[in-house]
Amino acid sequence: MSGPVRMRLPCERCGTLHIDRGEFSTRPHHTHQCEECGLVWRPAIVDTVGVRFLWEQSEDPGLAEERARLRDGFRRGMARAIADIHAMIDTEETT
């Protein structure tokens, strides 16, 4: 199973970059509507999702939550490790 093609999709009429946000970023669709001029067009035969940058992840709320959770865990782990190092250095300095 392959997901929608992530593309930069400038409007065919006014050139405004079409970015799919929210549920559109996770729901593949054929046709896109320009927020600027209202033009509805079909950039490709396949499902596409308009993105600002190709490397940008889709705004899947579950994924974002998971990433935030991992980041928090990592920060906590780092803080603990740094505290341990400080404790080690401090004891070395004082003895």
Binding site for Zn ion (CB under 5 A): 11, 13-14, 16, 20, 32, 34, 36-37, 39, 50
Shortest CB 28 distance to Zn ion, Å: 9
Buried b (16+ CB within 10 A) or exposed e, 17-48: ebbbeeebbbeeeeebebeeeeeeeebeeeeb
Give 41's strand partners. Answer: 32
When the beta carbons of 37 and 82 are compared against Zn ion, the nearer one is: 37
Phi, psi (deg, nearest 5) at residue 10: -75, 140
When the beta carbons of 23 and 93 are compared against Zn ion, the nearer one is: 23
Shortest CB 21 distance to Zn ion, Å: 9
When the beta carbons of 35 and 65 are compared against Zn ion, the nearer one is: 35
